[in-house]
Amino acid sequence: MNKRIVAVRRLHADHLQQLEGKFHVDYFPHLDDDNLDEYHAALARAHGLIGGKLSVTPALLDGAPHLEVVATISVGYDNFPVDEMSRRGIVLCNTPDVLTETTADTGFALIMATARRVPELDRFVREGQWQAHVDEAQFGRDVHGKTLGMVGMGRIGAAVARRGALGFGMPVIYSNASPKPVLEAELGARSCSFEELLACADIVCVTVPLTDSTRHLIGADAFRQMKRSAIFVNIARGPVVDEAAMVTALQEGEIAGAGLDVFEQEPLPATSPLLGLPQVVLLPHIGSATHETRAAMAQLAVDNIVLALQGQAPPNGVNLGVLSMNSALY
């Protein structure tokens, strides 16, 4: 009997075909109140679940007693109860690496757009305010040659740092859970304390995962320690930053500007004070959102779920220890 999987959110026809060639697929391109019962009924029979922006809770797992694998189309997995999944013998797979460069591009786009005030000055032109030569009121801040402070120096952090050091001549300092001697040799990057980074960086860019130890890592104290000319960029996860403290820091001029791809609440509510701050550049969580990269992520998730349900080690398992625990499966 073919194994059954549930696929959530829109998948490319080619990826869907690959899955349908191997499994019985219950496909939910959109999830809403109208098909929620159908979705839960499909989960009750499913061996695998694949998709982006999945919401997996212990209660959902209770209703999916045959589940062996969950393949998320993302690198971040802060929204999954990983320990609970491991306890139940469910493998969680993610999609690292294929999105690293694209997300770093997004980070650098935010650095440039915020420092040089690109969206604000685009509006200036469109609204017919460009009536004479620009003056100091429209000036931005240099990026090249400025000190880039990376909070988190993993795959994406290193890719942002590489752009800064090699493309823009920026000295790079970083604060990370472990030192990165190879990157230090490659980029001349220097490891420093979190406090030193906040005090010395002209651009502070956050790329740590959201965990218990990074939730609200950047709060009121951190913003007070930054330079008043600092540009702050978050391409990690919204809750790594205390958003209310960031708004206060921006309103009171404790930092010069912020470029944000992620927020504590997404989509950003229409009441967010961030919307009224011209020195802030806002993106709708598009770190990896290019045609090429989203296709590569989906393909990797397909590979992950296919291999795992065929009893082989998937390329990207978050809790691969489950494989050795679960001898019935593998």
Query: Residues in the site for ligand NAP, rule: CB under 6 A?
Result: 75-76, 96, 99-100, 103, 152-157, 176-178, 207-211, 213-214, 235-237, 261-262, 285, 287-288
Active site residue 237: yes
Whose Cβ is closer to ligand NAP: residue 156's or residue 258's? 156
Neighbouring residues of 313: CB distance < 8 A, sequence distance ≥ 6: 307, 320, 323, 330
Whose Cβ is closer to ligand NAP: residue 7's or residue 262's? 262
Active site residue 266: yes
Bridge partners (DSSP) listed for residue 50 = 7, 71
CB of residue 104 vs ligand NAP: minimum separation in angstroms? 9
CB of residue 208 vs ligand NAP: minimum separation in angstroms? 4
Q: Which residue is nearest to ligand NAP (CB)?
A: 154
Active site residue 291: no
The catalytic residue among 237, 243, 254, 294 is 237
Cα gap 305→56, rounded to integer Å: 16
CB of residue 136 vs ligand NAP: minimum separation in angstroms? 33
Nearest-CA neighbor of 158 among 174, 143, 135? 174
CB of residue 206 vs ligand NAP: minimum separation in angstroms? 9
CA torsion 71-74-80-82 (nearest 10°) is: 70
Dihedrals phi, psi of 134, to nearest 5 degrees:
-70, 155
* Order of strands across the sheet that contains 172-175: 190-191, 172-175, 148-151, 203-206, 231-234, 257-260, 280-282
Whose Cβ is closer to ligand NAP: residue 46's or residue 236's? 236
Catalytic residues, by residue number, are 237, 266, 285
